[in-house]
Amino acid sequence: MKKIGIVTYHKAWNNGAFLQALAMQMFLETHGFEAYIVNTGIRYKSVVMADTAANEWWREYEKVLADCHRLLHESSEKKYDAIIYGSDEIWNLRSYGANPIFWGYRLNSPRKIAYAPCSGELGMKICFKSPCKALMAAWALNNNYQAISARDDRTKKFIKIFSSREVTECLDPTFLADFTPYKSGNTRGNYIVVYSYGLNAETIKGIREFAAAHDCKIVYTGSYSDWADENPVLDPMEWLNVMFHARYVFTSTFHGCVFSVICRRSFFVVETNSSKVNDLLMRLQLTDRKVRDFNSLPPEVDYTVVQQHLGKQRQVSEDYILSNI
């Protein structure tokens, strides 16, 4: 049985980072591989807030998220039959992605593939602002990988700055796993999920009015909130169940959009113009989900159409992994 290492942001302080790592592990095990999350040795900075209540919320969240790491098969070994690098923003050179371990260095394997990494909002300017980091990336992209893919079009263009190699666009690995076993009963009643790291006053007002009009309470997840009806500290698996039963979702994050689709929720995207969110919405023909006016929100999502787009891209993504490891 092949032993596969996964190099990714599995200990960053958010649900999406954890769940995408778990999803890749689940996918590989489903296909008969031994899958291990590689211990990169990186210590992610804790979220520190000026508000005492917010700090308490984050410290409790860090505890419950750390408890969930038992679901990941973490390994400190250095040799694998193949190593998958990704997903998430492991190629964001302005962040932890500047660490060489995310670029195919320091670990031994005859096959190294990049699966759906993201470079954030990086472009040509990084070559001038951080030439050493850019040179590291350029060498890696041309020498360290047997196959390269990207999670979004902006990352694909970033790769093309340094290399002329073929780049396959792949889905976030969460789309390759079955999370329905984590769905259990609804104990919260009629509610809206808000998944964000902070919203402005105008958006909060719009969400409150929407919730009142639909007789829903507001369950704020992802970070601290002092305005929602509920702001529970949920581990990623508890959060999944809350997402499965939400009547509506408002989100400003990439994985908020991803799991709205996975859970087939009617969702709305607020306060973001990030490339990765825009790319996902475009690929799934869901660009109408972006809220421009709370008085003219889009209709319910037709998931029959979404699943057609998703099915084709899922096949490309699965084939890319299985044919390259």
pTM of structure: 0.95
What is d(CA 185, CA 64) in angstroms, rounded to the nearest whole number?
20
Q: What pLDDT, in 10s, does the model give residues 226-240?
A: 999 999 999 999 999
User: What is the residue type of 29?
Assistant: E
Sheet holding 34-38, edge to edge: 74-75, 34-38, 3-7, 82-85, 112-114, 147-150, 168-169
Q: What pLDDT, in 10s, does the model give residues 135-169?
A: 999 999 999 999 999 999 999 999 999 999 999 99
Whether the CB-CB separation of 146 and 112 falls below 8 Å is answered with yes
Q: What pLDDT, in 10s, does the model give residues 58-102?
A: 999 999 999 999 999 999 988 899 999 999 999 999 999 999 999
**Exposure b/e, 274-297, CB count within 10 A at least 16 = b:** bbbbbbbbebbebeebbbeeeeee
pLDDT of residue 130: 87
Q: What pLDDT, in 10s, does the model give residues 118-135?
A: 999 877 787 778 888 989
Alpha helix locations (H) across the chain? 15-30, 52-68, 125-129, 131-143, 153-162, 201-213, 236-245, 254-262, 275-283, 303-324
Instruction: Find all residues with CB under 8 Å of 12, minimum gap 6, and list them.
Output: 18, 44, 88, 96
